[in-house]
Amino acid sequence: MSRATHRLREAALTLGAIGGALCFVAAFATVAFGVTPLVVESGSMSPTIRTGALAISRDTPAASLRTGDVVRVKTGPQTSVTHRIVKITQRPGSATLRLKGDANDVPDAQIYTVRSAGIILFSIPFAGRVVAAASGPIGLFLLGGYVAFIAMILIEERRRKGPRSGGARKATLTATALLIGGLVVAEAQPEPTFAAWTDGVDVGTSTLSTFTVPVPGNFRCGGLGVASVQFQWNAVAGATNYTLHYGSGGGTTMTVAGTSQTITTLISGGTAWVNANQNFGSTTWTSANSNTRNYTVAVVSLCS
């Protein structure tokens, strides 16, 4: 083997090992510290966070949020908005946030009621595009080709020096790290987050008034059964749908079209409440939380 080929092989093994290790570190940080990688897909947080940056957020209870924090707030199952808190109203177990992008002239039209939000710890310029590409089809295709290249090195090392040689062991570890790392990247794709633009409007003689989505009234346990509980609430005029929170600390959510939902499970329990959602074209407004119910689902279900 020529010296140039040997150096190329060693460089490939080293880069592969580093890449696999970084994947492991990222997966560990996500689980151990509750952080979430975000790819910023718009520029209203410039120059603090520019388009294409990779932002790292950590889920934080509403009681710990402060004015001036840059936070990520969920707006859908796979979408969120990342803006700065300009006004916060604390409530028992939740907070109402008014957000504004650093590059925007006016705050967001939507008021966000949250029990927790992701505080942005730091951001890395341009890294979001790289991570998004690496976790997409092209990135995984290139990863597969790289693993195949490492496998060829492994086969050659085993043929020349045996399975216990230093080169064979290094190639085996690198291939394993890359394969597991690739699975981690494919499974835990970074979430896109939007630093959305808001524009001011000129007002002439028209009269503008504020609007708040009404809270669903009389949230209750409508029925208890064996391994099931049914939640019911009063309809809100104009509501597009409702978000039901249930489970431990209300940490599980479900979008419901009507005014009742049955949860069926063997043994479970927690706290439940509901929000009303009203769609206004490109944005959705959400009401404050309804009253809460504590419940237990088992052979004999209970609700209070």
Domain ranges of the chain: 1-198, 220-303
More confident residue, 192 or 214: 214
More confident residue, 147 or 61: 61
Average pLDDT over residues 6-16: 64
Average pLDDT over residues 89-118: 88
Residue 141 — very low, low, confident or very high, per pLDDT cuts 50/70/90? low
Return the HEC string of 39-70: EECCCCCCCCCCCCCEEEEEEEEHHHCCCCCE
Which of 77-81, 121-125, 237-241, 293-297 shows the lowest per-residue confidence on average (mean pLDDT)?
77-81
Residue 173 burial (C-beta neighbours within 10 Å; 0-12, 13-18, 19+): middle
pLDDT at 5 over 70: no
Model pTM? Answer: 0.48
- The mean predicted confidence, pLDDT, of the chain is 75
pLDDT at 292 over 70: yes
Report how many helices (DSSP H) and strands (DSSP E) the chain contains, helices first. Answer: 4, 17
Average pLDDT over residues 95-99: 91
Residue 19 — very low, low, confident or very high, per pLDDT cuts 50/70/90? low
Residue 87 — very low, low, confident or very high, per pLDDT cuts 50/70/90? very high
Average pLDDT over residues 74-90: 83
Lookup: tokens for 86:
């300009």
Name, of 15-29, 150-164, 252-266, the range with top average pLDDT.
252-266
pLDDT at 123 over 80: yes
Average pLDDT over residues 212-238: 85
Q: CA angle, corner 103, sides to 98 and 109, nearest 5?
A: 30
Quote the crossing angle between the two packed helices 3-33 and 166-187, to the nearest 10°. 40
- Owner of token pair 């049955």: 262
**CB contact at 8 A, 104 and 49:** no
pLDDT at 202 over 50: no
Query: Cα(77)–Cα(243) distance, rounded to whole angstroms?
Result: 11
**CB contact at 8 A, 191 and 37:** yes
Beta carbons within 8 Å of 33's beta carbon, 6+ residues apart = 58
CATH number, span 220-303: 2.60.40.10
- Give residue 201's pLDDT: 44
Residue 236 — very low, low, confident or very high, per pLDDT cuts 50/70/90? confident
Quick check: helix, strand or coil at residue 237? coil
Residue 282 — very low, low, confident or very high, per pLDDT cuts 50/70/90? low
* Beta strands 54-61; 116-124: pairing state: antiparallel
% pLDDT > 70, the chain: 60
Closest CA to 264 of 246, 278, 290: 246
